[in-house]
A and B are shown apart, each in its own frame.
Chain A
Amino acid sequence: MSAWLADSSGKLPRVAIVGGGPGGLFTAWHLEQRTAVPLSLTIFEATARLGGKVCTASFASADIQYEAGAAELYDYSPVDVDPLRELVQQLGLPTVAIGGSAVFVAGRSIANLDDLGDVGGASARREFANFDIRSRSAMTPADFYESGSDHAGDAVAAGRFEPALDGIGCGKARRYVDVMIHSDLATEAGETSCGYGLQNYLMNDPAYMQLYRIPGGNEQLMQAVAGRLAADVRLNAAVTAVGTGPNGALQLQFRSGERHLVEDFDTVILALPMDALKRVRFTDTALADAMRQHVEHHDHPAHYLRVSVLLDRPVPVLPGDDAYVMLDAFGGTCLYVESACDPCATNGVLGWLIGGTAAVEMASLTDDALVATVLDSLPPPLAICRDRVMEARVHRWTNAVSALPGGWSRLPVDRRHRPSRAHSRFFVVGDYLYDSTLNGVLDSAEHVAGWVVAEHASGPGTMLMDRDRATMEALQ
């Protein structure tokens, strides 16, 4: 048994993970997978369910599921090892590749360069091809893969994305690109960096990344992870404050039902989205200062609205057999034909992913008004679905993701995950630290879990590794 454990009077190291979303569950998974010594692991989740933004819900009028949150998973394996893909395989979950090329602009489908040439002439085709070449020159698949790490090159350039788009000299080609990437960005081009914008354009190229989903619902991934955890999971337990207790341990204040409770832990990992992180109070002055800086650096909110509609019969096959199309409505919206992958579907399911400013503006509408609005945006091949609606559901994900993951200037990975040097056993995990994807939050969780396990194995007083110490000194 390690020296650390011997010093703890036989008590197991107590690790608290605050947040039962992907970040929290992945961190717990990696901690349990990697640790060589027993840990007392507790997950605090403010709501009644685990999984966070990975949310598969069911309609009330038929036992048919739809994705209320993340609609797809990203597969980086064409470039290099993809830990998320490996985890999905390890858990025995089936996957199905999905894709879509069509972008509807003014009711006209643009699915390839030939269509773009028809709509905008040779100049549109040329301008778009030039933009594509510039983008790929600026960020290779390897740059794309490494974009969240300390090894990321200059490709993840500072500066806003808008000037890069302004370089497209043809209005129609510019509009095509705007619509293609808007819902993935979940923000406006002027609000994010050139690097993140390029990532969201290049993800359309299969050489950089491919898309897949889990038949039966992406939330199965979260359920499969949660089901294999030995951790003590406390649902409806909202952590309200973090500080340092009288004995030097980290202290959590949380609400469980009507009760307000306090509990000490040796290590605390906050795996919360930015809007939830801002609601946590830090009672220790140094920690509060560090977290204020952390939030200021990373707080670039982006927004989603998900509207899902159940139809009384299957959806007509999309042109090109696509699983989704991009619409020019609401600044650029992704419309998923969720039932497209199920040849035995008795009903159709359509899902709109509205992002950015439009999502904020429309979030105040009533559900009925929202549904009516999105149904008006149906493209010609699907317009017939307007009269086949059985039920509709709306999920608002305002402030739920980051428009600028990593901030305007990327901090070293260690610094991102441990905001306070004085609190060596306090960590944060989140997709906003990498690239606003599930892959990113898995990387974040893996980093922190590896760190925590290494420190617990090596004993107290050794938390600050030489590498980290050098980083901290350089930053000061």
Chain B
Amino acid sequence: MIVTDHDEPRDAGRIPAGLPADASLRRVPLACNEELLMLIVPLPDGNDGESAPNPVRITETVTAWAAEVDPRDFTSLPVITVPLYGCHVVWKPGQAAVVGPVSRLELLTTALSDFASCEGELRQLEQRCVDLVATVEEDAPHAFEFEGRAVSRRGTLASRFREAVAVRGRLAVLAPAAHAPPVHPPTLASQLGERLRDRTRLAERHEFAVDRAELAERLYEACGQRISEFGIAQRQMALEWAIVVLLVIQTALLVVDLLSRGAAT
């Protein structure tokens, strides 16, 4: 799911002090139209990272880096740290650090980007669900009865229904990634994905989002039905009035005809 990536030049304090010289920063564009700022710290291969120069201090440094640098205002998710068999991954929305043997970095960054894309899209959908649910109380009366004075809101309700269906559609596409069963036999990438999914409660969040989108969809579907019924009723009323007018005209003509016949005789 990585579209492209490019190395960030090692500049102006972006990489925290105390990390190995070959540590680098990358800005990885994600499929969810966000960007992941990734700090990559290679360790020498072998012995599960034990031979690296003070791996404990390195992991502490990158964790502090992730906790301090906050390019966006994401407050709902804390910094998540995942120790993973000689590797160490720190993640929060928009920002991540990977510490591990050189031979594992490509696997880890790919898995991390996949997860970040999935989480990013879910987070966006969650926000759209929040926006939808915020209008539910306001629009709920229209799901029971649609009145003439609300005709001007018809377009708004229709667009909200389309939004609810679109959100549900995206959530359905996301479902296999959010609810993927653990892989066996595991790979390092699958283990990282599973732990991140677990720690960020991706499956539960997805279910809550689906519930919210479903609520909005049901509401606006009912609104659509009431609007449709209102339109039919309006047309029926116009037809009835036309019939009444025609009957009145017919009666008037009949009266005129009778009067003219009476005058002639």
Contact = CB atoms under 8 A, between A and B. Distances in A.
Interface of A: 101-102, 108-109, 111-115, 118, 128-129, 132, 204-207, 317, 319-321, 380-381
Given A320-B85, A321-B195, A206 B184 contact: yes
A317 B48 CA distance: 14
B169 interface: no
Interface string B180-212: 011011111011000100000000000000000
A101 B83 contact: no
B248 to A, nearest CB: 73
Given A206-B184, A207-B181, A319-B48, A111 B83 contact: no
Sort A-B residue pairs by CB-CB distance and give the 10 closest, nearest first: A205-B184, A111-B85, A206-B182, A319-B85, A114-B188, A112-B186, A113-B187, A112-B188, A320-B85, A112-B187
A78 to B, nearest CB: 8
A204 B184 contact: yes
A212 to B, nearest CB: 15
B50 interface: yes
A237 B50 CA distance: 55
B45 to A, nearest CB: 9
A176 B185 CA distance: 13
B107 interface: yes
B226 interface: no
18 contacts: A101-B85, A101-B186, A111-B186, A111-B191, A112-B185, A112-B186, A112-B187, A112-B188, A112-B191, A205-B184, A206-B184, A207-B182, A317-B83, A319-B83, A319-B85, A320-B84, A380-B48, A380-B50
B86 interface: yes
Contacts of B182: 206-207
Q: Looking at B107, B187, B195, which has the most chain A CB atoms within 10 Å of its CB?
A: B187
A109 B86 contact: yes
Chain B, interface size category, equals 20 to 34
B185 A129 contact: yes
Contacts, number: 58
A258 B106 CA distance: 72
A380 B55 CA distance: 15
Nearest to B182: A206
Contacts of A317: 83
Interface of B: 48, 50, 82-86, 103-104, 107, 181-182, 184-188, 190-191, 195
B185 A319 contact: no
Contact of B85 (A109, A204, A207): A109
A373 B185 CA distance: 32
B261 to A, nearest CB: 90
Contacts of B181: 206-207
Contacts of A129: 185
A206 B107 CA distance: 23
Contacts of A320: 83-85, 191, 195
Given A319-B48, A320-B191, A380-B50, A115 B185 contact: no
Contacts of B104: 114
Contacts of A132: 184-185
Nearest to A116: B185
A326 to B, nearest CB: 13
A113 B48 contact: no
